[in-house]
Amino acid sequence: MTTLLHISASPRGQRSESLAIAATFLDELRAAPPHVEVEHWDLWDGTLPEFGPPAAAAKMAIFGGADPEGDEAVAWRAAREAFERFDSVDHYLFTVPMWNASVPYILKQFIDVVSQPGMVFGFDPESGYTGLLQDKRAAVIYTGAVYGPGRGPGFGSDFQQPYFEDWLRWAGVEDIRSVAFRPNLATADPEPGRRAAHSRAAEVARGFLLPTGEARLAG
């Protein structure tokens, strides 16, 4: 059975545009074969561990070829458990609202927790990093209320999508399907953009579980 993990960085519940678009994606995904088992991880639910001084020390110990001990070992075990939850599925759906031109801090915390040597990446002193999340694909829903392509600098910059997709590729996830809803709520009717985003989410979902070549034809 194919498994998908929906990782949500939105704290807005039923008022969240990204979660509403995700629901459209998931409804469409479940409507057609193959059957998919969906798990949800709300990053705001308190299960994400912090990555403070003991965890940072544990990471440097691992880099140096040592085993973490004491509080460092406890922090490292928590990071590994979070990674194993993340790595245990076939594919991903992320809901990513824009906060201050970038991603919510809880999503950055998630990235910092799971991005560990031997988990998300390998490292060679001569060739550098290697992403270890192989044969996985991701759908990402981006939302924002002010920034949008073609708007002036007074409407902000996009450090949201470039940052997040750079991390995915660094981690080894090359197959990324994106949906964006970025209305200018101050001056424009958001409804046409909202409908387009939901339509795009349904389109992405229809081809999401197909083999890569067929998915491209479906899209």
Q: Which helix (H) or strand (E) holds 41?
A: strand 36-42
pLDDT for 217: 47
pTM for the full predicted model:
0.92
Angle, CA 212 vertex, CA 209 and CA 214 arms, to 5°: 80
Provide the pLDDT confidence category of residue 79 given band limits of 50, 70 and 90: very high
Provide the pLDDT confidence category of residue 214 given band limits of 50, 70 and 90: low
Q: CA 82 to CA 106: how far, in whole Å?
A: 14
Q: Over 50: is that where the pLDDT of 170 sits?
A: yes
> What's the CATH architecture for 2-218?
3-Layer(aba) Sandwich (3.40)
- The amino acid present at 11, given as its one-letter code, is P
79 close to 51: Cβ distance less than 8 angstroms: yes
Provide the pLDDT confidence category of residue 150 given band limits of 50, 70 and 90: confident
pLDDT for 186: 65
Check residue 86 and report its DSSP letter: H
The domain ranges of the chain are 2-218
Beta strands in 45-174 (DSSP E): 91-97, 121-124, 128-131, 137-143
25 close to 59: Cβ distance less than 8 angstroms: no
Three-state DSSP state, 91? strand
